[in-house]
Structure 1
Amino acid sequence: MVSEVNKGAPAAETTARHIEDLILEGSLRPGDPLLPEREMALRLNVSRPTLRQGIRVLEEKGLIVADPAGGRRVAPLATSITDPLVELMGSRAEVVDDYLELRGTLEGMAASLAAVRANDVDRDILTRCMARIDQAHDEADFRDEAEADVDLHVAVYEASHNIVLLQIMRALSGMLRKGVFHNREKLYARPEVRGVLRAQHRAVYDAIMARDPEAAAHAAQEHMTYTKRVRAEIIAAEARLEISLRRIEGGSIAQRR
């Protein structure tokens, strides 16, 4: 579908505003590459000089960045947290617990709103995400299941149709994909945990599809509570294993007879 910018204001300014709107509403996502200049100008029904001026405005705002391949893409957005601070936060167990606590609240809100506001397009996307989880689970592909997990959560945020919530949760999901706060693959490597996670995702999905906001919020919050508890159990088990191994090896500094 061809988009056309509003011709009532200066063309370059209107072009920039139109692209800003696409970024804000989530149609253009952080990191998305933009179409080549000629094609984008045709899609927006503006001249190439006008498009260049509009893009320049967005580059000055830090919303569009140059691509190493020579094109342009949407800049990483929705968080002012610098990488060193994110890394520091991710290294502290108490901060990770705070992160999961926050997500529990926001996930519940997003699921509740999605149950009320999701349209047919949103519901189709949610259905495809859930199908990916089921397929990856059945094939015991825990890495793809972990990725499909994040995609389902993002689809719920989009279906909430709350722009601020969407952008905040996209930033958090980006950190989750990078394993900043915890390693999802450790959860999915455990068959018994994978089964529970799929059932919980199914509960969130079913509640949204049934347009039941209370059930959706409850299912989402229960999911995050379980994730927080299992993560703590995994960390405790790993710590006990490390102690046992050190005892066998004498802490690597004792001579064994």
Structure 2
Amino acid sequence: MSDFSIRPERAAEAVARHIETLILEGSLAAGEALLPERDLALRLNVSRPTLRDGLKLLQDRGLLVGEKGRGLRVAGLGRTAITDPLLALLAERPEVEDDYLDFRDVVESHAAGLAAARATPLDRDHVAAALERIEAAHAAAVPADEADADAALHQAIYEASHNLVLLQIMRALSGNLRSNVAANRARMFTRPRVRDHLLAQHRAIAEAILKGDPDAARAAAHAHLAYVRQAARDIAEAEAHGETARRRQSGGGLGQRR
């Protein structure tokens, strides 16, 4: 039973505001189903009619959606904005990758510093668990598992930063983050010892957060993203040179080479 309690005259609004707070702080994630009405009323210590009024306010605001026979769930918040055609266009342009990694460097370095300063014991447990996942996936040498574990660590860092704007933006971008991590890893696996470097970098970030050292966490995150960014540049340059060489061999596909 929750210790949440409210005055009757503003009961429905208070119910709505309480659930809004849970959504904003990430305790209730986009797409997550709410408890059945009876259980919700007990948890919030309100009558079922009051609960229905509060939930209706949230539905009207677009924060909750109903599915027939399946109850209410948190709306897919941020996903409409993140699938804007402009962002889709940016995602399709390989020349934008460097700008995206530059953006990640700025944001993730700051988030790592915040996480080191603000992480609760539970946050540190999540960061430690994410690092263990990375180490296990690295040992198993399964690229897809490594990419998933990589993205999970970055997400744990955003949560530990306790910056709600950073958290919500990156939760909405989580699909892009995971695909970007996977794409970068797939290309970077062609470089010698790259997996070992990435493991060491992630370990340095996590350990700085676990030690509560903001400066070390920021520096480790910056070093990681700088490495990924430079590796992506080097690979793109090598691919471009290879393509040029192939065109020269064939006359660009237009000449009659013999």
Name the TM tier (shorter chain): 0.7 to 0.9
Letter in 2 for 1:31: G
User: How far, CA to CA, are the matches of 1:9 and 1:178 in structure 2?
Assistant: 48
TM-score normalized with structure 2 length: 0.86
Q: CA RMSD in A?
A: 2.8
Deviation, structure 1 residue 245: 5.5
User: How far, CA to CA, are the matches of 2:31 and 2:151 in structure 1?
Assistant: 17
Point out the more displaced range, 1-10 or 221-230.
Answer: 1-10
TM-score normalized with structure 1 length: 0.86
User: How far, CA to CA, are the matches of 2:41 and 2:242 in structure 1?
Assistant: 60
Q: Percent identity?
A: 52
Q: Map 1:114-125 onto structure 2 (within 5 A).
A: 114-125=115-126
Residues 211/129 of structure 1: CA separation in 2 closer, same or farther (3 Å cut): same
Asked if residue 95 in structure 1 is aligned to residue 91 in structure 2, the reply is: no
Unaligned ranges ≥5, structure 2: none
User: How far, CA to CA, are the matches of 2:67 and 2:193 in structure 1?
Assistant: 43
User: How far, CA to CA, are the matches of 2:49 and 2:130 in structure 1?
Assistant: 40
Letter in 1 for 2:122: V
Q: Map 1:58-137 onto structure 2 (within 5 A).
A: 58-67=58-67, 70-78=70-78, 80-137=81-138
Deviation, structure 1 residue 155: 0.9
Other-structure match for 2:174: 173
Residues 255/41 of structure 1: CA separation in 2 closer, same or farther (3 Å cut): farther
Point out the more displaced range, 127-136 or 144-153.
Answer: 144-153
Asked if residue 47 in structure 1 is aligned to residue 57 in structure 2, the reply is: no
Asked if residue 18 in structure 1 is aligned to residue 21 in structure 2, the reply is: no
Deviation, structure 1 residue 112: 0.8
Unaligned ranges ≥5, structure 1: none
Deviation, structure 1 residue 185: 4.4
Deviation, structure 1 residue 26: 1.1
Residues 235/3 of structure 1: CA separation in 2 closer, same or farther (3 Å cut): farther
Letter in 2 for 1:17: R
Contact kept, 8 Å, 1:12 with 1:51, in 2: the verdict is yes
Letter in 2 for 1:169: M
Contact kept, 8 Å, 1:143 with 1:185, in 2: the verdict is no
